[in-house]
Amino acid sequence: MSIELPPSAAPRSAYPADVVPAHVRRRVLDLARAGTPVAAYLYDGRVAAGRARELRAALPAWAAVYYAVKANAFPGIVEALAPHVDGFEVASLSELALATAARPAAPGSPAPVVAAGPAKSVPVLTGLVEAGVEAINAESPLELHRVSRIARERGTTARVALRVNPAEIPVTGSLHMGGEPSQFGVAEPDVADAVALARRLPGIDLVGFHIHAASNNLDAETHATYLRWCVEWSLATAARHGVDLRHVDVGGGIGVNFEGEKPFDVARFGELAADVAVPEGVRVALEPGRFLVADCGWYAAEVTDVKHSYGRSFAALRGGINHFQLPTSWDIVHNVAVLPVEEWPEDCPRPEAADTRVTFVGELCTPEDTLLRDVRVDRVRAGDIAVFPYAGSYGWEFAMHSFLGHPVADRVLL
């Protein structure tokens, strides 16, 4: 049995402390003075709102931005984004409640929500139909039947987009979800039958297609090519099968430069997207999650001990993958900054590691509880605070909260 650990950070050095913005550093040190070991996410909603405004401003009028709530479901972040996005993408009833509270439907209009998920239960589908969302992305023939039945029982018609797993996708990314066997969507050879079924079912208004086939793409040009392909495929398929196309959902997929890569060029993406021919009456939905919120969050954890073992140094944290599982799960180097804390009991030794490579580990009883390996630090001492930037997406939501029963990380809105 192999142990899943993040890749070695060597030869990288830890971030300098000033990588963490001054107002975040101040709040972290305030938490440190409170007397309880620090373990917290700190979020700045203004950063997320700025990302959303940047993307929205770069895109043509036919495009709509729906924040994927799964990336960060903290109510303060959802509320901060609400004025700057066209709606939300949800995958559960709790996310639906957050979205509709943050941005209620206008009178006579559908709720500004699109819904995804490969195994929507009847209660979830019922909630979506009753909320009157803009589109339920149907994943299978059975889901189409269920949506139709629920809608008919309530005397309404549900707007549905058929999720498709195409045979070939002209895009690269770290997470490729098209053209191969998958639990997501309807395989392209089965699309004709699924469209015919959706058009027969009385409770369904088939508005278009959903294609979410790649993720973490940092190249604006290939992502624009992907968007163009999704639109052209949807137009051709709708014409072939007599679908009144009004909605094309291209999913998310815009990447984040966790390891110092060149960031996604939003302006260039917007320029290229503007060249895509989208007929009047067709809305193209994008579902960014990680891209909008990754850099609005910081995970901070107190160094409870510094240990040396067979020539290696370890900084043990009040936290770990029970708070922040992303580095291990996604096989990334997620770098850290060390904030020095000068207060320390005079009668207690203070272990440290200086000018050496350090592995940052958590408090769980498993060697898999490793957040960062072999990063060179100038100095880290027990009592200092390790701060991981780019922790605003898939952080708190993605963690193993219940394992060993330690307290979960606090969440603080700056």
Which residue numbers are catalytic?
Answer: 365
Q: 291 and 55 in contact (C-beta within 8 Å)?
A: yes
**Which two three-digit tokens encode residue 234?**
């949807």
Q: 287 and 68 in contact (C-beta within 8 Å)?
A: yes
Q: Return the amino acid letter for 128.
A: L
Q: 395 and 321 in contact (C-beta within 8 Å)?
A: no
Q: How far is CA 80 from the centre of its chain?
A: 16
Q: How many residues does the chain have?
A: 414
How far is 133 from 160, CA to CA, in rounded Å? 9
**Which two three-digit tokens encode residue 178?**
């098209």
> Is the previous residue joined to 170 through a cis bond, with omega within 30 degrees of 0?
no
